[in-house]
Chains A and B, each alone.
Chain A
Amino acid sequence: MKKNLLIRLTGLGLAVITAMGMTACEPKTPEGPGGTASAEYTKPDSIKMTFDTCMTFENGLQDVCDEYKNQTGITLEVEKPDHNKYYEKITLAFASGTPSDAIEMGSTYYPENANNGALWDMTDAWENTTAPAKSVVDPSYVDALKIDIRDGNGPRLYGFPTVAGNGTVTYVRQDWMDQMGIKTPETYDEFIGMLRTFKEKGKPGTIPLTAAGLLNNGETPYDIYLREFYQDAIPDFYQKDDGTWVDGFSEPAMEAALTRLHDAFAEGLIDGEIVTNKTSTCRDKVNAGLVGCFNYWAGMWCAKLEDATTGTDPNAKFTALPIIKEAGHYTERVPTALVITNNCANPVGVFEDLIMYSHDGDKGQMLFTHGVVDKHYTDNGDGTCTALPYYEDPTKLCEKAFYAPELSISTWNDPIALDPRVEESLKVFRENRTFATVPVVSDVISENLANLNVVKGEVVANVLHGNISVEEGMAKYNKDAGKYVEAILADLNG
């Protein structure tokens, strides 16, 4: 060995890279029309859509697309990437310059792309449309997606809600409450009293309350799982009435919330494994009949949790609790958006013939919600319909094609009746919710937020476990997170 191996290896690698020259992998610049819109437009021949939360192809997604072609004459090509890597796939599609015309986007990804100018501004299209959807859709859901990207144009719309954002409610074992003679808790003390009774009178191994983590794994809203304990504390940045942004985590309300969490945990009322719980662990515990209270999605999950739990405990019955007085509200997340990319050649056409059509309160909506007649549901001829079994599982009825029917954003009379348990849990949720706002995004925030969330997570978990006191926790937060908070607040208020 005459030469140093290190130099050789590096030199060789660089040589090869250089030799391969400027065969660059840079993406092409997308071309697309701007945000002008009118009621007149040309009908697109075909639309490509990327969707995450739709029916699988095995259960007849292609039949839905075929029926769409049948009804509108437009070829609909749907891509359904893996759920776990959904956003990586979309990024890759953008990077290679070939994103779909329409893409389903969650509330974390949507504002960032709206900010970046990747999405078609559909504000005017929505203002000017004459489609039936205009009169059927509840505008509060549409407004929830408006974003002010601080370009002087005020809040604009870059995506249309597919379904309501929905949120979580606190489910409780109604059968236990009945059996132990507990009435529905209305205050924090009554709520804690209920948990205490579960612990004392329940069978050995009872977990009064469980949740998958303390701060919703760093996803906003952070406080949804433990609303009863956070109450008026907001462990996130929020905008005061006068328009200035403040950090809710460093406010006194947070100290009180941490004290409540610590006390309840020390008393054994909160799952001892809350820090290590995954959502699936919680569901396992609930389905094994061990858990009294579990904060989880409103709607379908009421029935799903109950059905899965009756396998172990035939009497199991779940009810959604109205929110206690001190906590004030559950939170409805920002709805998932269906966006049109700037790469789309005919955005107005896609807006009218895909998005508006899918919310028309009529056969378009029926197709996007329930699928194809005689394949996914049958028409009873008396104005009602009945869902048919899934292709793949004759024992279970079709739930949805693209949009979950129970979360519809329009005043549409679903001809297929909902499971009463689902309806009831949604009713409780909707009576107790407030709408979350689209999270603000900026470079400063995205650079600092991850580290800030780490500090928050460490503080809450350590206070909960009693490793440090509430005061020490707040001091640690101010010391470790101070600079991130400062940078973000300066950016937000600047």
Chain B
Amino acid sequence: MSTKFSFQKGYRARAVFVILNTIFFIFMMICMIVPIIKILSDSLMNHTVYGMQLIPDEFNPIAYSYIFTRDSLRRPLVISIYTTIMTTFLGLLISTIGAYILIQREMPGVKVFGYMLMFTMIFNGGLIPTFLVMKKLKLLNTLWAVILPMALNVSNLVLMRSFFEGLPTSLFEAAEIDGCTPIGTFIKIVLPLSKAALASIGLFFAVAAWSEYFHYVMYISDTTKYNFQYKLRDLFADKQEAMEGIQINLKTLQSAAIIVSIVPFMFIYPFCQKYFMTGITMGAVKE
């Protein structure tokens, strides 16, 4: 799909477009990154600056060493990583299974199944009943109370289905003729062809799990089971005790905690993105 970059006749419009497009994204990137640079800069100065100072006047990584040496912040990082991996894995499993069932248009009851899913997107039971259910299921104070409800995400499931619908039906027919069971087709054909979907929806699950806060607050009282996002919120709580045992500047610590919470995904995304490059059909033709 690459086109020659040139100002010769016939290519001129394209060249102008490329230049404008580049300028547009440079502008967008500046808008997006400036506030983040401000946070980064705040995280490196162990005193409060009011206003948009973008270049730190000191380089003091004390807040970062604080985060990585204190048990109360390091352990939540481990919990975050664990629940993120578990939720992403289970979430992808449930969404792919659910989506695979939903594309079986002729399966008796499939419509009811679809409506049942959609209905939960719109109606919910509310705080107290959900809590009581968790209590009855004996899930309070376990990480399952966080992981399981997040693993079934109807939006993600519906998006996954839309990707599966794009797969050529001939592939399924061919697999059936080859004697594949539905489970076999699912594992051998559907999943390998859905890398872009798995990458993007997996990312949705991972980010949702990483930023989850509410479920921890509601269902978990054991302080050793809180995640990093919970601690991050705790640092921002406007309470008199917020600074208990914290000797460094609160604003500095807050900023550093934000940076730490973003960094993992700066590295994960380019990795996921490589699956966006290989098109579904292209992959199918090659294999």
Task: Give A residues with C-beta under 8 Å from B.
Answer: 8-9, 12-13, 16, 25, 27, 53, 55-59, 79-85, 88-89, 91-92, 95-96, 278-280, 283-285, 287-288, 290, 297, 300-301, 304, 308-309, 311-312, 390, 392-393, 395-396, 398-399
Contacts and interface: CB of A to CB of B under 8 A. Distances in A.
A300 B115 contact: no
Nearest to A12: B115
B230 interface: yes
B245 A9 contact: no
Residue of B71, B123, B240 with most chain A CB atoms under a 10 A cut-off:
B240
A84 B217 contact: yes
Contact of A12 (B47, B49, B112, B239): B112
A88 B251 contact: no
Contacts of A393: 70, 245-247
Contacts of B116: 12, 16
Given A59-B245, A82-B217, A83-B234, A287 B115 contact: no
Chain B interface helix/strand/loop/mixed:
helix
Nearest to B46: A311
Top 8 A-B pairs, shortest CB-CB distance: A311-B47, A288-B50, A287-B48, A390-B245, A58-B72, A396-B247, A25-B132, A395-B247
Nearest to A281: B50
B128 A25 contact: yes
A12 B116 CA distance: 7
Interface in B111-134: 112, 115-116, 118-119, 123, 127-129, 131-133
Given A56-B244, A96-B135, 12 more contacts: A53-B239, A55-B244, A58-B70, A80-B223, A287-B50, A287-B251, A288-B50, A308-B47, A309-B48, A311-B47, A392-B72, A392-B245
A111 B135 CA distance: 28
Contacts of B239: 53, 83
B244 A81 contact: no
Nearest to B133: A25
B245 A83 contact: no
B106 interface: no
A310 to B, nearest CB: 9
Given A53-B240, A83-B239, A308 B249 contact: yes
Contacts of B50: 284-285, 287-288, 290
Residue of A58, A312, A396 with most chain B CB atoms under a 10 A cut-off:
A58
17 contacts: A9-B118, A25-B132, A53-B239, A56-B245, A57-B224, A58-B223, A80-B223, A82-B234, A85-B218, A88-B218, A280-B236, A287-B249, A287-B251, A297-B240, A308-B48, A308-B250, A392-B72
A59 B244 contact: yes
Contact of A84 (B46, B129, B224, B233): B233
B223 A57 contact: yes
B218 A312 contact: no
Nearest to B223: A57
A300 B118 CA distance: 53
A301 B127 CA distance: 36
A91 B218 CA distance: 11
A28 B71 CA distance: 39
A392 B69 CA distance: 9
B178 interface: no
Nearest to B48: A287
B240 A300 contact: yes
Contacts of B287: none
A309 B115 CA distance: 58
A81 B128 CA distance: 16
B284 interface: no
A284 B48 contact: yes
Interface string B27-69: 0000000000000000000111111000000000000000000
Contacts of A287: 47-48, 50, 249, 251
Contacts of B245: 56, 58-59, 390, 392-393, 396, 398
Contacts of A59: 244-245
